[in-house]
Amino acid sequence: MKKLLVSLVLGAGALSASAANPFLEFQPVIAGDDHVSFNFQGGITGKVHPNIALGAGFGITEKWNFEHAPLIPIFGRAQFETRLGSLNPFLSLDVGYEINTDDTHWGAVLVNPMIGLKFGRWYGGIGYLAHCWTPSGADATSCFNMKIGYNF
């Protein structure tokens, strides 16, 4: 966990020295058991190649009615962008850990691949959010998700 956090902080520092691109996202999640939650997250990315960006971010995830303590996702991001005619598609992959603020013995490794389109500074995408809960014997959960974001 500490190595992941240190890597994300160092990566964010390196990106801030280059052409950093801050982002802010809203991500509604509807799981199969009618569990509806939201995720606000932000971070920065920086181009390491004309079509490839790397970055880091963090956020807050909670049910709509604040029934439980929030999860704090901390993640790294790799993104591939291209141009196809007038379309600007992208593929992204977020990998990180969600800290449980209610019970620190529980948390989740998160993996979120996504495909989407950019519209100027706005973008939207559809992905697959997978959680692997950290206590031994705990189950994994997953669902489709979407993101709506803005690049500053």
**Per residue in 10-32, pLDDT tens?**
555 554 445 789 999 998 876 65
Q: Pick the residue with more confidence: 146 or 63?
A: 146
CATH of the domain at 136: 2.40.160.20
Please tell me what DSSP assigns to residue 87: B
Q: How far apart are CA 101 and CA 98, in angstroms?
A: 9
Mean pLDDT (whole number) for 104-130:
92
Phi, psi angle pair for 68, to nearest 5°: -125, 170
- First-to-final CA distance of the chain: 29
Q: Using one digit for the tens of pLDDT, what is the confidence trace for 78-87? A: 999 999 998 9
Structural domain span for residue 112 = 2-151
Q: Nearest 10 degrees: CA dihedral of 79, 60, 105, 143?
A: -60
pLDDT above 90 as % of the chain: 51
* The total number of structural domains that make up the chain: 1
CB 129 within 8 Å of CB 114 = no
pLDDT at res. 88:
96
Q: Pick the residue with more confidence: 49 or 103?
A: 49
Nearest to 143 by CA among 61, 75, 69, 81: 61
